[in-house]
Amino acid sequence: MPTANAYAAPSATGDLVPVTIERRDVGPHDVLIEIKFAGICHSDIHTVRGDWGPQQYPLVPGHEIAGIVTKVGAEVTKHAIGDRVGVGCMVNSCRECANCVQGEEQYCLNGMIGTYGAIDRDGTVTQGGYSSHVVVTEDFVVTIPEGLELDVAAPLLCAGITTYSPLRHWGAGPGKKVAVVGLGGLGHMAVKLAHAMGAEVTVLSQSLKKQEDGLRLGADQYFATSDENTFKDLAGSFDLIINTVSASIDISAYLQLLALDGALVNVGAPAEPLPVNVFSLILGRRSFAGSAIGGIRETQEMLDFCAEHGLGSEIEVIPASKINDAYERVLASDVRYRFVIDTSTLG
């Protein structure tokens, strides 16, 4: 079995530490990927710290993977040795249910297999991308187009697709007013993507500290949610609000910012329930929705869109020894705008 250098969380509270892990042998439909860069998503932190439920440890997080194919199984047709590829939040699904058949594998009715902390179809526990190598079935590996550097492409595999998918589904484009709540990893990609799709984009951030960045990334307007006038001035304004906040916020206050028939889509996934005052929905025929990553076909479409529009993530590349510091900085909303691990520093 191939081995890999990795960083793992030993428990819900301990710092991540270097480990060596085994990857499965490359099966007929598998590819072996030498990982070059792995993004740090806030979901990694939620998972490691047990926000979403108990986990098995040691746990190697990481579902924003960019690397190079170094070996392929005998029956692989989609990828070849030397290809630049990516892996996102899932590494398998049943492929048979109604949702999988539609290409919405993230909503697999039998449960998609997460890139880490999930039980794979062969009974082993999956381990993620803070690792030098990974073996993945070819259908869950996407191609990183020429023109997109691997380091800025890595975060697209989660932050990119998680914002691209609802922007497309809810029709972001010319004539649409889109607000993005939270300017972190997901939020900054939502701004870039919505702007590239032609929508009018507003950032709603806790403060004005990142205003210059927000406008540079493509926002037309930027407001601080700590200023109560924001909620008065913007009432009834937006067709679509993408909430990327990792903590509980007053959703009813944000729903009031929607125009008639507007939708607020939660992609942020705080541990606690979000209470909603139904009058903020009723008065304006508004919708409150959620969205999870995107299917494999749509992930490829998003990467191609990013290459075409020259979009990558704004990143800070770090060595593995800084992963624990990076976690603290993400938790303090001090990320500009995605930490990406240089995986050559793992072992």
Name the residues that contact ligand NAP, by CB under 6 A: 41-43, 46, 158-159, 162, 182-187, 205-206, 210, 244-247, 249, 267-270, 291-293, 330, 333, 335
In the list ligand NAP, Zn ion, none, the entry touching 183 (Cβ below 5 to 8 angstroms by class) is ligand NAP
The total of other beta-carbon atoms located within 10 Å of residue 340's CB is: 24
Rounded to the nearest whole angstrom, what is the least distance from the CB of residue 260 to Zn ion in the complex?
33
Residue type (1 letter), 28: P
Rounded to the nearest whole angstrom, what is the least distance from the CB of residue 37 to ligand NAP in the complex?
16
The counts of H helices and E strands in the chain are 11, 17
The answer, yes or no, to whether the previous bond of 319 is cis (omega within 30 of 0) is no
CA distance 237 to 18: 49
Chain residues binding Zn ion by CB under 5 A are 41, 43, 93-94, 97, 100, 108, 110, 158
CA distance 88 to 307: 17
In the list ligand NAP, Zn ion, none, the entry touching 100 (Cβ below 5 to 8 angstroms by class) is Zn ion
Q: Which residue is nearest to ligand NAP (CB)?
A: 184
At 191, list the tokens.
């701004």
In the list ligand NAP, Zn ion, none, the entry touching 286 (Cβ below 5 to 8 angstroms by class) is none
In the list Zn ion, ligand NAP, none, the entry touching 292 (Cβ below 5 to 8 angstroms by class) is ligand NAP
Nearest to 250 by CA among 225, 279, 274: 274
In the list ligand NAP, Zn ion, none, the entry touching 84 (Cβ below 5 to 8 angstroms by class) is none
Q: Which is nearer to ligand NAP, 32 or 203 (CB)?
A: 203
At 244, list the tokens.
């990327």
CA distance 171 to 165: 10
Q: Which is nearer to ligand NAP, 17 or 224 (CB)?
A: 224
Rounded to the nearest whole angstrom, what is the least distance from the CB of residue 268 to ligand NAP in the complex?
4
Q: Which is nearer to Zn ion, 96 or 261 (CB)?
A: 96
At 69, list the tokens.
């194919």
In the list ligand NAP, Zn ion, none, the entry touching 10 (Cβ below 5 to 8 angstroms by class) is none
Could you tell me if residue 82 is left (phi over 0), alpha (psi between -120 and 50 degrees) or otherwise beta? Answer: left
